[in-house]
Amino acid sequence: MTSVQRQILWGSSLGFMLFVFLTASYFLINPLPDWTQLWKRELMDIPVIVFTFSVSVAVGIIFGFSSGLYWSRQLQAIDSWLYQLEQGQQAEIEQSSRLQEIGSISARIEKLQKQIAEKAKLSQRLATEKAEEQESRIQEIISQERNRLARELHDSVSQQLFAASMLMSAINEGRPLSDHRETKQLKMVEEMIHQSQLEMRALLLHLRPAALKGKSLQEGIKELLVELSQKVTMTIHWKVEPFPLDKGVEDHLFRILQESVSNTLRHSKAAKIDVLLIKRDDLAILRVSDDGIGFDVEETKAGAYGLQNMYERAGEVGGTLKIVSVKNKGTRLEVKVPILMLAGEEHD
């Protein structure tokens, strides 16, 4: 039962009680020798008893309907405030009600909103401090290890592939064209070696620190996707809007993007991937979607470290992460983080 229906019912009951009161008062003031007089006496060509009952109930219904509309508006306003808080948005609280109870509720909701904002701000500050500390501690180790691995691959495997490519080119150029089948097979071997060289160059290009390293999130995303588009046959589209974010938020969103793209490359068998970074209603929104084979989110979440890591990273900066996947239709990952800039940390 809605508040309007409830108030109409109460109003009808009140109207009936008013009818009983008026009828009893009339009996006390003007005693009737015969009950049939109630039907014989008329007002506006209507029996008095019917007229009194109709007016009383009508007044009660009108009063109940008006009261129900008023309370419905008050409850809808409270529900709207709570929904905005649930969605991570700033609730637009209006102190227009004259009722002390509604005013007290709105004041508590406003206080709760400030507490949530402060907690999200604190979480982002802690995430920023944690990201800076971790980056400074492991950046040098990662850089040294990547450089060592890249150097060893370049000096050994890359050189061997280059030598094999040169050798196969010399063999193919010096052979007569009499045996077309063997010549075709040797050409295929040469192309495979050439493709392996390209893969090795892509691997050597990828062996670098994965952190933003002083760049903004937008710059890091563009650099990552441009580099990726040069290595894979997948079609990559992106839209990145320029807006400032805290260092910790940028670091977490960038790593979520890396994990998501990595999962797409390894598991999705997709032909296209779209990346979107926008700002809407004081929310930073990162969305990654593909047209791959999809997967069961609930079934995979429990045993997938990468998915759990992305959920944890989103929560550490006061955000939410949602993954929607449909079998043979694709997957969409969306992260929403409230933008609460810390003083002195905006990008110039």
Taking only the tens place, the pLDDT of each residue in 237-251 is 999 999 999 988 999
> What residues make up the domain containing 30?
3-86
Q: Are 184 and 306 part of one and the same domain?
A: yes
Give 32's contacts (C-beta < 8 A, 6+ positions apart): 38
Residue 265 has pLDDT above 80, yes or no: no
Band of residue 344 on the pLDDT scale cut at 50, 70, 90:
very low
Residue 187 inside a domain? The answer is yes
Is 72 a domain residue?
yes
Provide the residue count of the chain. 348
Asked if 234 and 272 touch (Cβ cutoff 8 Å), the reply is yes
Asked if the structure places residue 91 within a domain, the reply is no
Same domain, 313 and 260: yes
Domain membership of residue 117 (yes or no) is no
| The pLDDT value given to residue 347 | 44
168 with 234, same domain: the answer is: yes
Is 323 domain-assigned? yes
CA angle 189, 174, 185 (to 5 degrees): 25
pLDDT digits (tens, 9 = 90+) for 132-178: 887 778 767 877 787 788 788 877 887 887 788 788 888 777 666 66
End-to-end Cα spacing for the chain: 56
**Assigned domain for 93 exists:** no
pLDDT tens per residue across span 35-75: 566 666 656 666 666 766 777 777 777 777 777 777 777 77
- The count of other CB atoms within 10 Å of the CB of residue 164 is 17
More confident residue, 198 or 228: 228
The pTM score is 0.49
As a whole number of angstroms, the distance between CA 201 and CA 150 comes to 10
What pLDDT was estimated at residue 228?
80
In a domain, 177, yes or no: yes
Between 304 and 156, where is the model more confident? 156
| CATH for 328 | 3.30.565.10
- Contact yes or no for 315/242 (Cβ under 8 A): no
Number of domains making up the chain = 2
Amino acid at 224: L
Do 180 and 302 fall into the same domain? yes
Residue 301 has pLDDT above 60, yes or no: yes
d(CA 290, CA 329): 9
pLDDT at site 47 = 67
Helices (H), the chain: 3-29, 37-40, 48-86, 100-153, 159-174, 180-206, 217-229, 247-263, 297-301, 305-316
> Is the same domain home to 56 and 189?
no
> What is the rounded distance in angstroms from the CA atom of residue 57 to the CA atom of residue 76?
28
Nearest to 274 by CA among 241, 243, 235, 311: 235
